[in-house]
Each structure stands twice: as structure tokens, then as C-alpha cells.
């Protein structure tokens, strides 16, 4: 009997050690996946490669950078755990946050724009921006009322500036409008080109788009288009939209969260980092104010009515 008890005790001790070893040793993450929504699809491949190499150098691990096809897929990727870090447009972040799929560790900063000339204000740093409606300069469209019955290009129903804010504000005005002839165009440059070509009457985008993409449009012959002469910022939203969020999976290890946060903060101090950030019009990053994103929920609800 004593021998049996001794064997049992030994087995219990061995099993206990195995259990403790299995629960205490967390396998270190050796790679991360990052995803972003491009504003100019033509430059996405070059940005992706440069960004992956840059982050790998800082983080000392393999980095896989992918491009979201639209504002909804980045939310789906975060929810499925397919992406560790998302450079998320504000409304997409709020959706992912509501699903418990994302936690903001930083918010981007932007340059402010003169609302008359749409030129950047030197030395300015802002934490929010406005939605902008771009039209042809000779269209005569300068109010939401003028959009009723027009063909509009939008960036996606999960885009704050590219759909949610303009639509919510049109509904707040009591306007009745049919979106059946509206067209989703998932990057800003293509949407602006559609306005220039006359395929649509207007496009929803973000404040400062003409300046950001001033060299991006060409005509049918391949000649550069003077976007300030040919296009106009017909309407700006009343509401201010919080900037993009750098979001991670809530389950990410705290030490890795800190490394990712430090990597993005470092970008603004280096020429290579600034060049990469310019693909999203970001000028830097600050610690997130989570409450700033709460206002988007009201606009999302209104736009969905």
C-alpha cells in the first residue's frame, strides 16, 4: 500500500510540474501582421514594401504588411485575429472597438489646411479633420442641397469622411436623396479622377485631398491635371472627425504593444519614417484619447437610418 501511495505521489508531482511549465511559459511572438487602408491604390505596393522593411528593422521581427481592400475588410481582419496592428480610419476603428477586436494605442496627427485656399498651414498640428465634398470647379455645387439627385462617389459605408459624416449631415438637414446611383470607389485618387472625368458629379473624401494628391491626376493623354483649377472643395462637413487610430489586438502582449507604440512614435523623428507616413498624410502620433472617438458613434447611427 505504501508503495502504491508513493507511486501516486510521484505521478502527481510530475503532472504538477508539467502543468506549471505549460502555463508559465508563453511562446514569444516572432512576427506581426500590419494592415492599412490605402488612399492611393497606385502607390500601395511600394508603401507596403518600404513599411515592412522599416518596421522589421525597428522591431527586430518579421513584419507582414497588407493592404485592406476597403474600410470594412480591415475591421473583419482585426475581428478574425488575422491582423495584429491596424492603421485604422476612425469609423473603422470604432466598429472594431465595439466588436472588442481593437484597442487604440496611438492617434495620428495631421497638418491643418486653410479652408479657402486648401493650402497647409505651416507649423500646424491637429487631431481632427473635416469631410470634404469634391466637385468640378464649374459645377455650381456648394451645398448638401445641391447633391440631391446627383451621382456621388463614396469611399465606403465604413468611412467617416468618405460616407458617414456627409450622409449623416444630409439627413440632419431633412434632405431626401436616393443613393442607388451612387458609386463606391475605394481610394481617393480614383474618386477624384471620376469627378474630373465626369463619371460622377461629386466625391466624398477628406479635407485637404486636393493638396495631398495635387500631382496624382492625369488626363486621357497622360498630362498632369491642375486639381486646384479643375476641381473644387464644394462642401466641408460641420462635424470634426478624429484622426486615424493605430490599433492592436486587445490580446497582444503588453511588452509587444509598447514596442509597436514606440516604433510608430519613432517614425516622426526620421526622414524614412516621415516618407512612409506621408502615404496616409500622417505627420506624427500621440497617445490616444479614447473619448474622442465616441462622437463618431452618433454619426454612424444617423447615417445608417
Residue 302 vs residues 78, 129, 148, 170, 294: alpha-carbon distances, Å: 25, 19, 18, 10, 14
27 secondary structure, DSSP code: P
Can you give the C-alpha Rg of the chain in angstroms?
A: 24
Domain count, the chain: 2
Last residue of a domain, one of 204, 236, 268: 236
Q: What does the CA dihedral 102, 291, 107, 160 come to, rounded to 10 degrees?
A: 80
One domain for residues 226 and 135: yes
The pLDDT tens digits along the chain (305 residues) read 434 334 333 333 333 433 444 444 456 788 999 999 887 777 777 789 999 999 999 999 999 999 998 889 999 999 999 999 999 999 999 999 999 999 999 999 999 999 999 999 999 999 999 999 999 999 999 999 999 999 999 999 999 999 999 999 999 999 999 999 999 998 999 999 999 999 999 999 999 999 999 999 999 999 999 999 999 999 999 999 999 999 999 999 999 999 999 999 999 899 999 999 888 889 999 999 999 999 999 999 999 99
Residues paired with 224 in a beta bridge: 218
Q: Residues 139, 172: contact at Cβ < 8 Å? A: no
Closest CA to 52 of 43, 62, 39: 62
Q: Which pTM was predicted?
A: 0.85
Q: Which domain holds residue 88?
A: 31-110+243-293
One domain for residues 229 and 263: no
Task: Please tell me the distance from the alpha carbon of residue 238 to that of residue 143, in angstroms, as a whole number.
Answer: 12
One domain for residues 46 and 132: no
Q: What is the CATH number of the domain that holds 182?
A: 3.40.190.10
Q: Is residue 19 part of a domain?
A: no
Q: Is residue 63 part of a domain?
A: yes
Q: Is residue 255 part of a domain?
A: yes
Amino acid at each position: 500500500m505504501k508503495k502504491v501511495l508513493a507511486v501516486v505521489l510521484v505521478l502527481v508531482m510530475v503532472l504538477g510540474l508539467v502543468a506549471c511549465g505549460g502555463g508559465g511559459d508563453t511562446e514569444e511572438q516572432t512576427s506581426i501582421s500590419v494592415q492599412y487602408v490605402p488612399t492611393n491604390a497606385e502607390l500601395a505596393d511600394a508603401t507596403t514594401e518600404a513599411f515592412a522593411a522599416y518596421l522589421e528593422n525597428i522591431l527586430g521581427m518579421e513584419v507582414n504588411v497588407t493592404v485592406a481592400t476597403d474600410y470594412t475588410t480591415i475591421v473583419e481582419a482585426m475581428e478574425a485575429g488575422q491582423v495584429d496592428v491596424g492603421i485604422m480610419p476612425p469609423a473603422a476603428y470604432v466598429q472594431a472597438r465595439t466588436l472588442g477586436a481593437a484597442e487604440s494605442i496611438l492617434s495620428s496627427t495631421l497638418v491643418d489646411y486653410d479652408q479657402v485656399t486648401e493650402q497647409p498651414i505651416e507649423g500646424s498640428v491637429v487631431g481632427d479633420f473635416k469631410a470634404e465634398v469634391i466637385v468640378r470647379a464649374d459645377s455650381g455645387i456648394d451645398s448638401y442641397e445641391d447633391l440631391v439627385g446627383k451621382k456621388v462617389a463614396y469611399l465606403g459605408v465604413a468611412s467617416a469622411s468618405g460616407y458617414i459624416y456627409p450622409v449623416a449631415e444630409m439627413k440632419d438637414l431633412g434632405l431626401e436623396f436616393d443613393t442607388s446611383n451612387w458609386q463606391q470607389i475605394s481610394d481617393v485618387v480614383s474618386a477624384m479622377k471620376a469627378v474630373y472625368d465626369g463619371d460622377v458629379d461629386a466625391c466624398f473624401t477628406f479635407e485637404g485631398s486636393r493638396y495631398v494628391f495635387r500631382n496624382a491626376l492625369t488626363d486621357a493623354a497622360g498630362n498632369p491635371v491642375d486639381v486646384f483649377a479643375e476641381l473644387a472643395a464644394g462642401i466641408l462637413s460641420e462635424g470634426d472627425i478624429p484622426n486615424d487610430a493605430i490599433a492592436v489586438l486587445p490580446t497582444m502582449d503588453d511588452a509587444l504593444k509598447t514596442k509597436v507604440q514606440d516604433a510608430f512614435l519613432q517614425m516622426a523623428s526620421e526622414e524614412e519614417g516621415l516618407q512612409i507616413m506621408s502615404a496616409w498624410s500622417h505627420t506624427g502620433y500621440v497617445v490616444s484619447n479614447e473619448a474622442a472617438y465616441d462622437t463618431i458613434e452618433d454619426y454612424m447611427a444617423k447615417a445608417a437610418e
